[in-house]
Amino acid sequence: MAEKISHLSHTLEPRRDAYGFALRPQHLQRYREYAKIYKEEEDERSEKWKNFLEQQADTSRNCWSERLHKERLPSGVSEHRDGTVSDRPAEGDDPSENKPSDGSTGSSPEREVHSTENLKSDKVPRWANVRPVLGAIENMMSFRIKKAKNVEDDLKGVNGAHLPTVDEVSHSGQTSEEDSEGDVELDEASNGSANSSNGERAVSEGMPLESSFPWREELECLVRGGVPKDLRGEVWQAFVGVRTRRIERYYQDLLAQEASDDEGKALDNSPAVPQKLKKQIEKDIPRTFPGHPALDENGRNSLRRLLIAYARHNPSVGYCQAMNFFAGLLLLLMPEENAFWALVGIIDDYFGGCYTEEMIESQVDQLVFEELMRERFPKLVNHLDFLGVQVAWISGPWFLSIFVNMLPWESVLRIWDVLLFEGNRVMLFRTALALMELYGPAIVTTKDAGDAITLLQSLAGSTFDSSQLVLTACMGFVAITEARLLKLREKHRPSILEVIEERSKKGRVWKDSKGLATKLYSFKHDTSSLVQETKSTERPEDVAADADTSHLENSSHLEDLLGGLAVDSEVDSLPDLQEQVVWLKVELCRLLEEKRSAILRAEELETALMEMVKQDNRLQLSARVEQLEQEVTELRQALADKKEQETAMLQVLMRVEQEQRVTEDARLSAEQDVAAQKYAVHVLQEKYEKAMISLAQMEKRAIMAESMLEATLQYETGQNKAHQAPGSAHNQSSVQETPTRRIGLFGLGWRDRSKGKPEESNESPQKEIGNRELEQQPK
Amino acid sequence: MGCSSSLPDRASGRLGGLNSENGAVNDAKNLRVKLVLLGDSGVGKSCIVLRFVRGQFDPTSKVTIGASFLSQTIALQDSTTVKFEIWDTAGQERYAALAPLYYRGAAVAVVVYDITSPESFQKAQYWVKELQKHGSPDMVMALVGNKADLQENREVTVQDGIDYAEKNGMFFIETSAKTADNINQLFEEIAKRLPRPTPS
């Protein structure tokens, strides 16, 4: 499945991120913004890791060979001695062949082949070793687990319930047990006293690592910068120590036993997974990353097998909601059996006691976290108190889910990188504190509980800047260490155990975990109850004892408690002292109650003060609002006036414009008239010219006619003279005179008339134009 | 010009809002209630909340780890508003260890079962007893039979629900987050039953 993911990014619909997880619609935009940054960061860290691993490969070959060689030897011997050699002839045959850095991985192919041969019936469970380059990291981390196993073995003497099936599993199981024991002997000197007390153990834990792994710090830096995507699955396995934890065929046997139990024929006496848990697992499988492309039919089957195998492996935890998400996440990054061992490491070891029936450690962690919050962010916690919000309401789900589904995936994975590397729950606390630091200022501004929680939830849900978050967590809260947490847990565990005890005794009235009255009550009514209580605390501890840490914590805590109660156990012999103790305790309770009431009163007063301040602010605000309101009204008035003016201006402007338009129209029509008249003039001119031409012709004709007439007249006179004698010449001259005069009169009169006429017609159009122009002007 | 027209409106709106805030200091009109949902795993607690708050239904919803929070305000006919601060808790039995954290100080507890699962009805009765023992005495309790749309698979009769609710002084309703049946009614009925602060 791990391979599938690498191809996912190409086929994803936009609503899923690079890991195939669904994005909330409101985060799509932010995610897209950050996708580029993630890409850049990824490239950068791939480069860094590549360099680091290359460097590791070189150095490990040189300086690690000797030590590891020694380490491998006894295990090889023990295998021989154990008689399992016949099963695996290839392994451990020649210890000298086992080259240190790849000695174990060298034999891995055989192992794999071997296990698959054995498991032809159930073919799906798979196992794969991590790449040899990570061998050095694996080795470093395996120290941690070997130590844990050492302690675990001790525990078995006390509490045989753990790993019930290990002994029946096979020889290989024993081998591996002995294997680890053999290894542990070597560094017994450094941690010989480790299981005597917590504090010492916590201190000694770091020692062999620091001294013998000089590059640990460099690795830590790299881890804080994030593990590259394609290495993550294997690096996580190296961190959790999957290979060291692994007992061959253990996983397959768990499943086989479960299967045969289902068929009704119990193979051994190990308890089957209760039906209730199976039902719960069945309910939760489809509700684990619903719609994730990798969780198809096969993926879900793997998830089911993994959870059932774990439930059988550790009955004190069985199955707890939240593990479905962890198992699902691990399955996305590694083969099924590897995921199983990783889950075993995380739940049994890192989160021992957290997911058991009573969830004791989870509850203790919440009290510890609240104390740290009060220490680090007193103002924020005060504000939350004022709103009536308990820190654990919000941090509880964060811790229980290890931030899965609470933060964007990139951030979740970065936190897991660090958490798995460190091998404890410190990173949980640091991250939660970092979130509070980042979002505290915003939370302080909220006015009611609902708003505060909603805001914090949504802010946390959009913490896309994973680098900022991880760095704030790791750099800003260096003081939060495992040793510190162990101490705080010890301090708070009793109150949780007490509540559980109270609840299991049904007759009692259940009170607030911090209720002093309850303590007083139980103390007054039977003094021995405290002793009883401490006895009963052993029971849940035994349940939680699968995790060595919690057991050790508990045992020393028990010692403390018993030490504190020594007075009570001696009570019977010393009645005076008893009375005194009773009196003192009552007094103490009284004082504590007084203190509590004083604190409450102070809180009340503070609340009242805040209320008053608020009221005051409100009055000021309303005054200011009134003032602003007045200003607004004034401004509005001014605006209205301005608007009126504007409208008036506009009206004037429009009128002017209209007039202009009218004038323009008039001008245009006038121009048209002018053009028409000019045309008329032109026409008239032409007519005039034609008339003139015809007149000239007529004149010519008239002249011709006149000359013809004269000629005719002259001819007639000449004829008359010739016909008549001189007598008659006298008559003729009088006759001749008369027509000449008539013609002359006629001709002149006609000529005059025709001359005057064109002059008149020339004048009149000009007059007309003049008239029109005059007309136009008033317009 | 468009700007000038909207300006007076906004100013007056703000003024109105401020007035009402000043005027309605009496909390009888604006209630804030902490509500916690309890019940067996997978009965649909988260779905009821999601339906009520967002009006959505997702048949493939996620497992709730620890608890999740949502809030929603409703207005009643008598012009009071009720803001529900809803804690939706994890269903698995062992998470009961953390439940007191959430039901402590809650004014309303809604105990949900699945009408197709008698086991979940048993679990609901466990929760009712738990609340009677450890919850605050004036808590309003509602018994809700969810998945009412699955009539053909019904295994808990309506009468059983009514009887048990009556015996324990609870309000009873059957709902379906899938079809949204009775979801709003559930919260409205709860709101009506809330003790009102007496205006003094």
A126 occurs within a structural domain? no
A731 occurs within a structural domain? no
Number of domains in chain B: 1
Counting one residue from chain A and one from chain B, the pairs whose CB atoms sit within 8 A come to: 111
What rounded mean pLDDT belongs to chain A? 74
A439 occurs within a structural domain? yes
Distance to chain A for B24, nearest Cα, Å: 14
Number of domains in chain A: 1
A343 occurs within a structural domain? yes
B58 occurs within a structural domain? yes
- Taking only the tens place, the pLDDT of each residue in A379-420 is 999 999 999 999 999 999 999 999 999 999 999 999 999 999
Kindly list the distances between the CA atom of residue B76 and the CA atoms of B81, B142, B176, in Å, as whole numbers in the listed order. Answer: 6, 18, 22
Q: How far apart are CA A438 and CA A443, in angstroms?
A: 10
- Taking only the tens place, the pLDDT of each residue in B10-26 is 333 333 333 333 322 33
CATH code where residue A486 lies: 1.10.472.80
Separation of first and last alpha carbons in chain B: 49
B9 occurs within a structural domain? no
B103 occurs within a structural domain? yes
B20 occurs within a structural domain? no
User: In this structure, is the dihedral angle defined by the CA atoms of residues A89, A92, A93 and A98, taken in order, positive or negative?
Assistant: positive
Chain A residues 307-326 within an 8 A CB cutoff of chain B: 320-322, 324-325
pLDDT value for A1: 46
Residue B69 lies in domain = 30-192
| Strand arrangement of the beta sheet that strand B140-146 belongs to | B67-75, B81-89, B30-39, B108-114, B140-146, B171-174
The residues that bridge with B173 in the sheet, in sequence order, are: B144
- Taking only the tens place, the pLDDT of each residue in A288-324 is 998 888 888 999 999 999 999 999 999 999 999 999 9
User: In this structure, is the dihedral angle defined by the CA atoms of residues A216, A220, A222 and A223, taken in order, positive or negative?
Assistant: positive
Contact A454 B71 (CB under 8 A): yes
CATH code where residue B92 lies: 3.40.50.300
Strand, coil or helix: A165: coil
Closest CA to A460 of A8, A27, A22: A27
- Taking only the tens place, the pLDDT of each residue in A701-731 is 999 998 999 888 898 888 888 776 555 445 5
- Taking only the tens place, the pLDDT of each residue in A479-512 is 999 999 999 999 999 999 998 888 777 544 444 4
- The DSSP symbol for A355 reads S
Which residue type is seen at B161?
G
User: Using an 8 Å Cβ cutoff, are A141 and A218 in contact?
Assistant: no
- The DSSP symbol for A213 reads -
Q: How far apart are CA B110 and CA A6, in angstroms?
A: 44
User: Using an 8 Å Cβ cutoff, are A143 and A422 in contact?
Assistant: no
Q: Which residues from A are below 8 Å from B20, CB to CB?
A: none
A295 occurs within a structural domain? yes
- Mean pLDDT value across residues B81-106: 93
B75 occurs within a structural domain? yes
Q: How far apart are CA A477 and CA B7, in angstroms?
A: 50
Q: How far apart are CA A74 and CA B10, in angstroms?
A: 84
Which ranges of A401-528 would DSSP assign to H, the alpha helix?
A: 409-422, 426-444, 449-461, 466-476, 482-504, 516-525
Helices A250-262 + A297-313 axis angle, to 10: 90
A627 occurs within a structural domain? no
User: Using an 8 Å Cβ cutoff, are A408 and A469 in contact?
Assistant: no
Residue A135's pLDDT band (boundaries 50, 70, 90)? confident
Closest CA to A343 of A411, A425, A242: A242
Tell me what ipTM this predicted complex has: 0.86
Distance to chain A for B115, nearest Cα, Å: 16
Residues of B in CB contact (< 8 Å) with A are 4, 7-8, 11, 15, 18, 22, 32, 34, 41-42, 60-71, 83, 85, 87, 90-95, 97-98, 101-102, 104-105, 133-134
Strand, coil or helix: A354: coil
Which of B8, B41, B66 shows the shortest C-beta gap to A636?
B8
B23 occurs within a structural domain? no
Chain A residues 412-451 within an 8 A CB cutoff of chain B: 448-451
| % of chain A beyond a pLDDT of 70 | 64
User: In this structure, is the dihedral angle defined by the CA atoms of residues A153, A159, A162 and A167, taken in order, positive or negative?
Assistant: positive
HSE toward the beta carbon, residue A339, CA cutoff 13 A:
27
- Mean pLDDT value across residues A664-685: 94
Residue A464 lies in domain = 215-260+271-504
A765 occurs within a structural domain? no
Residue B30's pLDDT band (boundaries 50, 70, 90)? confident
Query: Are β-strands B67-75 and B81-89 bridged in parallel, bridged antiparallel, or unpaired?
Result: antiparallel
